Amino acid sequence: MSTTSTEEERSTEARGDTILEVNDLKTYYEDGGFLGSNPVKAVDGVSFDIQRGETLGLVGESGCGKSTLGRTLMRLEEATAGEVKLNGTDITTLSGSDLKQFRKDVQMVFQDPDSSLNERMTVGEIVREPLDVHDWKTPSERRERVRELLETVGLQEQHYYRYPHQFSGGQRQRIGIARALALEPEFIILDEPVSALDVSVQAKILNLLEDLQNEFGLTYLFIAHDLAVVRHICDRVAVMYLGNMMEIGPADEMFDQPANPYTHALLSSIPEPDPTIERDRITLRGTPPSPRDPPAGCPFSTRCPVKIRPSAYRDMDTDLWERIEVFREVLRERSRADPSLSDRVRKLLGRESHRAGMDEIIPELFGELDVPSDVMSHIREAADYAENDDEDAARAYLREEFGSVCDHERPDQLSVGNRGRLSLCHRHEPEYEEPAAVFETLVQ
Amino acid sequence: MSTTTETEIPLRQRVAENPQPALIWAAVGAVLIGVELGAILQVVGAVAGVVVNLIPGDPGASAVQSLQAAFDAIPTLVSRDVIPNQGYWDGTGYENTFLGLSPAVAWAIRVVFVYAYAFAVLAWAWNGYKRFRRHYRRVDWTPRDDVVNRFRGHSWGKFGLIIVITFVVMAVFAPALGPTTMEQNILQPYDYEVSYWSEDTQSVETVLVGEANLGSGSQGAGDENVAPMTYDDFGRFHPFGTATNGKDLFTQVVFGARISLTIAVVAMGIAGLIGLGLAMITAYYKGLADLATVLVSDSIQALPVIMVLILMLVIFQNTWVRELYDGAVLIILIFSIVYWPFIWRSIRGPALQVSEQDWIDAAKSFGQTPTQVMRKHMAPYVFSYMLIYASLSLGGIIISVAGLSYLGLGITAPTPEWGRLIANGQQYVASPSWHISLVPGLLITLVVTGLNAFGDGIRDAIDPQADTGDEAAATGGGA
Ligand code: SF4
């Protein structure tokens, strides 16, 4: 695999007709309630583009920011920074009639068909509402169009005067799709459109979406957490983690040979459809860090199984290295959790904090391992800081000692392969070993 | 497809294609309305009078007055003229009463007639809704049908509804219900005369109503008491007895119902609209709008309601606002201002909940305007909650108005008001004249109970889980 830095390459590369271009988009929430608290960095600097007529899948665990990204593209959330260009126009600053025109060009299909249809309106009124809002032709032509749309999505025109309650989940999702099609948009954001449906219905809706795409030349952004669905319907896939786009590239290539360590982990978590193929499972330890306080370097650095080690520790025993990472994770968790009131009282009284003391944690983590004395002294040093309730100092100390480029520098999106794949990982830089190779050694 | 044309037919054409159910209904309606056309036009005249009154300079006041007079002249079925009860005994039989019956029986027949007519009209309206649903409505099911059906199965709610209707009918038909009229018995008693059979002279004599009243007051002592369902010395029948000053209690009670219900409904309507409007705005925009409303409503709610009322009424004591409609306008304004925070608080939860629904985002995503989103996608879900809390707090207003009048603030005399009647008879509760306080007191209790039952009925109808589990009880209490 070739690994080269890519900023120019990406923009010059002609992959066809770009409909949507997103540059360094950030969406932060300030809704913490406490003044001065860190904002939630739901989308933290994401860049990608979508070609006309393609389906881009957007995957990631819940809370990774994929829904917020979709809502920001829809202008349902305001972007904090960056630009979103639809057909060359930045839509983050639109207002008035330009915004209204944009509202016509981009539509959304929502995840939960129970909640996305106003159940006090008839199906006809629901599908017609976008047409009414945009004063589309005459009222009778609108009714005509609604009936056509109902047929297009596989419903019957006499459903016009029924209420959503009278339909099954799959049928309701069809109503939602008909509404999204009403204004003849060119770009549709599908926010987990099948995840609330029965498995038996999912395939039908997916087929419908594909048919509609062919018939009307639609472009889709398909948000999903189910990788199997994505593999089925998407041309390209983007993987998000903690507000960052970890990897983006052609779906087949990415599923067969994931480049980014996070994609590796994500893919190995889905059951292989073909049970004869043995895939080695990589289970991720811990939970994603809080999006209020993301890691300074690589977003995945707190959990990455193939994180780059500083040269001094490159030959360290894998188990020990693992335990040190766990120790850092423990400190991170502790600094996130506010000390309870009784802890504070104890501290004021000069008594020991009730939280699990370092003298419990250290033997637990490192007890049965053979720890070299210099490493142990670093651990003790950090433990001392933590014992005095200064987790931040402890974390800084460990970061200084055991941190690597993964902890210090945010990686760039580096190109992988020759089909426009990008991956956010230092390991694609020439001086490091490729993630895939390291995974090989891990699972042996 | 064949359905293409079917679904497009406008209502008029659908009726034309199957006219029978609509025609029958319309014919019955024509009869029902026809017999009371005079009364309906009188209401129109009264409303016109109010409008003219509100415009500075009273333009066209004389025209309106002549119009009112003309309307008054139209005979109506359910009226005092058709079934008169104010007659007298002439030694051999009753004169000037309906079919020569006794005043008590004639009055009872009229009351039964009034209620029969009112319920016939309601039944006709309900039947019209059912006919529409069965024969003409394009959709064969709407979510509201379930609510209606659930309410129909809710005995307690229906009981409440019947009580409420009874009181509304009482207020609407007050002039026809009383054994005597406001004008003759209460407002201008010295301008009218009554004829009566005098035992002493064994002949029919006449006396001024005012003087007759003086001789028939209920003041506790045995011979100075006219109990419910009895005649006084002047042959006048008093269904609820008389007040201390000899005026007919029933007449005062039914007109009191007018005042109390009007104040309560109008004040609650205004408070409800303010509350609903603010709930929409605060739920849609959240953040600062919500915070500001919380602050304002908390400040208003922190004030003791009765204190504010008394204070305001005292402040405005001698101003023109206090004079409008015997003080009712001022009371309505004060109650609206005091009650909207309560309504807003109660529906804020449901409003926020509905604002989180995806269909709001969907509407925003295709460019629906905020006002339309609030009106079409939020308000219908919150409206019924508003109705619940409004009906539950109507009783509170009725009680408060009575309380104010009891204190001599509220509605100015001589306009009858329940609270003042209670105050009036208070010193006689332990005497044979107990009825003066007790009857209005019982009526207040009854109407408040009815309103609460009605509110419970609506709540269970819109929220069917609410009557089964404790969890729902908690929502009801907490909301
Ligand atoms: S940059 Fe480092 S921590 Fe991040 S994914 Fe690559 S190897 Fe893992």
Whether B476 has a pLDDT exceeding 90, the answer reads no
Cβ contact (<8 Å) for B381 and A120?
yes
Assess contact for A108 and A191: CB atoms under 8 A: yes
Please give the pLDDT value at position B470: 38
- B84-98 pLDDT per residue, tens: 888 888 878 888 888
Could you tell me the pLDDT band of residue A5, with boundaries at 50, 70 and 90? very low
User: Can you tell me the distance from the alpha carbon of A32 to that of A41, in angstroms, rounded to the nearest whole number?
Assistant: 11
Whether B451 has a pLDDT exceeding 70, the answer reads yes
Contacts of B109 (CB under 8 A, 6+ apart): B83, B98, B101
What H or E segment, with its residue span, contains residue A414? strand A413-416
Cβ contact (<8 Å) for B376 and A121?
yes
Could you tell me the pLDDT band of residue B478, with boundaries at 50, 70 and 90? very low
Whether A8 has a pLDDT exceeding 70, the answer reads no
B139, B359, B368 member nearest A122 (Cβ): B139
Cβ < 6 A, ligand 1 pocket: A 261, 298, 300-301, 304, 306-308, 406, 411, 425-427
Interface ipTM: 0.83
Assess contact for B88 and B95: CB atoms under 8 A: yes
Please give the pLDDT value at position B250: 93
Please give the pLDDT value at position A144: 92
Whole-number Å distance, alpha carbon B273 to ligand 1 midpoint, is 58
- Minimal C-alpha gap between A131 and chain B (Å): 9
Least confident of A7-11, A197-201, A204-208, B365-369: A7-11
Distances (CA, A) of A422 to A54, A262, A417, B109, B389: 17, 13, 9, 91, 58
Whole-number Å distance, alpha carbon A430 to ligand 1 midpoint, is 14
Instruction: Please report, to the nearest 10 degrees, the dihedral formed by the alpha carbons of residues B293, B295, B300, B302 taken in order.
Output: 140
Least confident of A240-244, A421-425, B3-7, B270-274: B3-7
Cβ contact (<8 Å) for B380 and A161?
no
Q: Point out which residues pair with A219 in neighbouring strands.
A: A187
Contacts of A421 (CB under 8 A, 6+ apart): A247, A248, A249, A250, A253, A254, A259, A415
| Binding-face residues of B in 126-185 toward A, CB within 8 A | 138-144
B3 touches chain A (CB under 8 A): yes
Residues of A in contact with B14 (CB under 8 A): none
Cβ contact (<8 Å) for B139 and A161?
yes
Higher pLDDT, B193 or A269: B193
* Residue with CA closest to ligand 1 atom 6: A425
Least confident of A48-57, A269-278, B328-337: A269-278
Q: Point out which residues pair with A285 in neighbouring strands.
A: none
Residues of B in contact with A99 (CB under 8 A): 367
Mean pLDDT of A323-336: 82
Residue found by looking up tokens 């009048």 in the block: B405
- Dihedral (CA of B343, B346, B351, B352) sign: positive
Considering only alpha carbons, which residue of chain B is nearest residue A33? Answer: B287
- Minimal C-alpha gap between A207 and chain B (Å): 23
Distances (CA, A) of B99 to A404, B105, B109, B181, B372: 109, 10, 11, 20, 60
Whether B322 has a pLDDT exceeding 80, the answer reads no
Q: What is the CA radius of gyration of chain A?
A: 25
Amino acid at the residue A240: M
Q: What percent of chain A has pLDDT over 70?
A: 87
Cβ contact (<8 Å) for B361 and A107?
no
Residue A98: Cβ within 10 Å count = 12
Residue A57: Cβ within 10 Å count = 27
Least confident of A15-19, A262-266, B309-313, B328-332: A15-19
- Dihedral (CA of A267, A268, A274, A278) sign: positive
Whether B2 has a pLDDT exceeding 80, the answer reads no
Least confident of A129-138, A159-168, A365-374: A365-374
* Residue with CA closest to ligand 1 atom 8: A307
Whether B391 has a pLDDT exceeding 70, the answer reads yes
Contacts of B393 (CB under 8 A, 6+ apart): B268, B339, B342, B343
Please give the pLDDT value at position A276: 59
A133, A160, A161 member nearest B366 (Cβ): A133
Considering only alpha carbons, which residue of chain A is nearest residue B138? Answer: A161
Could you tell me the pLDDT band of residue B246, with boundaries at 50, 70 and 90? confident
Contacts of B180-187 spanning 24+ positions with Cβ under 8 A:
B180/B86, B180/B236, B180/B248, B180/B251, B181/B80, B181/B251, B182/B251, B182/B255, B182/B416, B184/B209, B185/B209, B185/B213, B185/B247, B185/B248, B185/B251, B186/B247, B186/B248, B186/B251, B186/B252, B186/B255, B186/B414, B186/B416, B187/B414
- Minimal C-alpha gap between B20 and chain A (Å): 24
Please give the pLDDT value at position A4: 45
Question: What is the maximum span of chain A, computed from C-alpha positions, in angstroms?
Answer: 84
Distances (CA, A) of A131 to A118, A125, A166, A179: 16, 10, 23, 9
Assess contact for B248 and B218: CB atoms under 8 A: no
Whether B63 has a pLDDT exceeding 80, the answer reads yes
Assess contact for B208 and B400: CB atoms under 8 A: no
Distance from the Cα of residue B55 to its chain's centroid: 25
If phi over 0 gives left and psi between -120 and 50 gives alpha, with beta otherwise, what is residue B287?
left
- A290-318 pLDDT per residue, tens: 888 888 899 999 888 888 888 888 888 88
Residues of A in contact with B3 (CB under 8 A): 157-158
Residue A113: Cβ within 10 Å count = 26
Assess contact for B447 and B390: CB atoms under 8 A: no
Please give the pLDDT value at position A271: 63
B8, B138, B365 member nearest A74 (Cβ): B365
Q: Which atom of ligand 1 is nearest to the CA of A404?
A: 2
- A375-397 pLDDT per residue, tens: 888 888 888 888 777 778 888 88
Whole-number Å distance, alpha carbon A261 to ligand 1 midpoint, is 7
Q: What percent of chain B has pLDDT over 90?
A: 35
- Minimal C-alpha gap between A152 and chain B (Å): 15
Q: What angle do CA A421, A424, A427 make, to 5 degrees?
A: 100
Number of CB pairs, chain A paired with chain B, less than 8 A apart: 86
What H or E segment, with its residue span, contains residue A85? strand A81-86
Whether A180 has a pLDDT exceeding 90, the answer reads yes
What H or E segment, with its residue span, contains residue A263? helix A261-268
* Residue with CA closest to ligand 1 atom 7: A307
Please give the pLDDT value at position A7: 42
Considering only alpha carbons, which residue of chain A is nearest residue B3? Answer: A158
- Minimal C-alpha gap between B152 and chain A (Å): 20
A107, A116, A157 member nearest B359 (Cβ): A116
Residues of A in contact with B139 (CB under 8 A): 122, 161-163
* Among A197, A208, A196, A118, residue whose Cα is nearest residue A154: A208
Residues of B in contact with A73 (CB under 8 A): none
Residue found by looking up tokens 């038909």 in the block: B173
Phi first, then psi, for residue B416 (nearest 5°) are -70, 145
B358, B366, B377 member nearest A183 (Cβ): B366
Q: What is the mean pLDDT of chain B?
A: 85
Whole-number Å distance, alpha carbon A302 to ligand 1 midpoint, is 9
B7, B143, B365 member nearest A108 (Cβ): B365
User: Can you tell me the distance from the alpha carbon of B432 to that of A156, in angstroms, rounded to the nearest whole number?
Assistant: 75
Mutational test site, ligand 1, from A246, A300, A321, A325, max ligand atoms within 8 Å of CB: A300
Assess contact for B94 and B201: CB atoms under 8 A: no
B361 touches chain A (CB under 8 A): yes
User: Can you tell me the distance from the alpha carbon of A239 to that of A245, in angstroms, rounded to the nearest whole number?
Assistant: 6
- A9-58 pLDDT per residue, tens: 444 344 568 999 999 999 998 765 555 567 899 999 999 999 999 999 99
Q: Which atom of ligand 1 is nearest to the CA of A260?
A: 5
* Among B472, B447, B437, residue whose Cα is nearest residue B395: B447
Higher pLDDT, B474 or B149: B149
Please give the pLDDT value at position B36: 83
Assess contact for B233 and B194: CB atoms under 8 A: no
DSSP string for residues in A176-202 = HHHHHHTT--SEEEEESTTTTS-HHHH
Whole-number Å distance, alpha carbon A262 to ligand 1 midpoint, is 8
Residue found by looking up tokens 């009778």 in the block: A140
User: Can you tell me the distance from the alpha carbon of A319 to that of A305, in angstroms, rounded to the nearest whole number?
Assistant: 12
Least confident of A39-48, A268-277, A333-342, A356-365: A268-277
Cβ contact (<8 Å) for B359 and A118?
yes
Amino acid at the residue A288: P
Whether A270 has a pLDDT exceeding 70, the answer reads no
- Minimal C-alpha gap between A68 and chain B (Å): 13
Distance from the Cα of residue B329 to its chain's centroid: 16
pTM over 0.90: no
Q: What is the mean pLDDT of chain A?
A: 85
Least confident of A36-45, B68-77, B123-132: B68-77
Mean pLDDT of A185-198: 93
Amino acid at the residue A399: R
